[in-house]
Amino acid sequence: MTEKTWTVPVLLVEDRGAVRVLTMNRPEKRNALNSELTRQLLEALRAADKDEAVACVVLAGAGQGFCAGADLSEFKDLTPENHDLVEARAELTMQLHLAFSKMTKPVVTAIQGAAMGGGAGLAIAGDMAVMAAGAKIGYPETRHGIVAAIVMANLSRQVGRKAAFELVALGEPIGAQKALALGMVNRVVPDADLMPEAMALAEKLAAVKRPAMAATKQLFHEVADLPLAQALERGREANRRMRAFRKG
């Protein structure tokens, strides 16, 4: 009798109408980001952005937690002696966190359980975030003697400097209401309502006309870090381009 072995995918992909749901699927590891999951997630985000049938993406985690951050079991190989491996992993992680702002489609994150370190970075990397009332978010890297390096860039752009420094320096997790007050998430909902609320928000975003949504997202990320004069120039250029798609 031939025995069969089954490989469980580390990333689940499901289309619900115009919304594509990406679910990190390593619940036994609290969806920790190993190289395989990081690579598949990056590829899936890029694929969703190119797919004309997709208008919005929801990013979620299987099981009790959103994402525990980097898979520490891989750290044993990330040593100075393995320079190429260290460089490749750092580049992969950076590209994943950069992908959200490069997409033309909006991304909603659905945060349950724990979102820590790189997982916290993913939780706030989306354009909008829905967080379960019982969830926690934090950057505990300093407690392990390391730095919240790549995720710090996005955090410092979304949260005031004092609050951002406290999060990355002390490494203490915060609850959903605190995250809401800091502007890290858009909604806090009962745990049982997390996915229905995230889907409802995603469906609203998906209903916006595609050219308007794409231009809004592109302009938003362009002007966020520009001096006022340059940001207004970008706005003027976008205002001119709007005439090309207002009837679309």
| pLDDT value, residue 155 | 96
For 175-222, the pLDDT digits (tens) are 999 999 999 999 999 999 999 999 999 999 999 999 999 999 999 999
For 135-162, the pLDDT digits (tens) are 999 999 999 898 999 999 999 999 999 9
Residue 227 lies in a domain: yes
Number of H helices, E strands in the chain: 9, 9
Residue 27 lies in a domain: yes
Residue 114 lies in a domain: yes
Residues 132 and 93 in one domain: yes
Whether residue 5 has pLDDT greater than 60:
no
Domain, as residue range, for 123 = 11-206
Rounded distance, CA 71 to CA 35, Å? 8
- Position 248 confidence tier, pLDDT thresholds 50, 70, 90: very low
| pLDDT value, residue 236 | 87
Residue 224 lies in a domain: yes
For 49-62, the pLDDT digits (tens) are 999 999 999 999 99
CA dist list (Å): 153 to 133, 161, 176, 222: 26, 11, 21, 15
Whether residue 15 has pLDDT greater than 90:
yes
What total number of domains does the chain contain? 2
Determine which one of 141, 197, 222, 237 is catalytic: 141
Residues 133 and 215 in one domain: no
| pLDDT value, residue 87 | 83
| pLDDT value, residue 224 | 85
Percentage of the chain lying above the pLDDT 90 cut: 76
For 215-246, the pLDDT digits (tens) are 999 999 999 888 888 888 988 888 887 766 55
| Sign of the dihedral defined by the CA atoms of residues 203, 208, 214, 219, in that order | negative
The token pair at 156 is 């410092």
Whether residue 131 has pLDDT greater than 90:
yes
Rounded distance, CA 197 to CA 207, Å? 16
Note whether 27 and 67 are within 8 A (CB): no
Residues 17 and 91 in one domain: yes
- Let me know if 141 is a catalytic residue: yes
Of the candidates 4, 5, 6, 8, the one whose C-alpha atom is nearest the C-alpha of residue 28 is 8
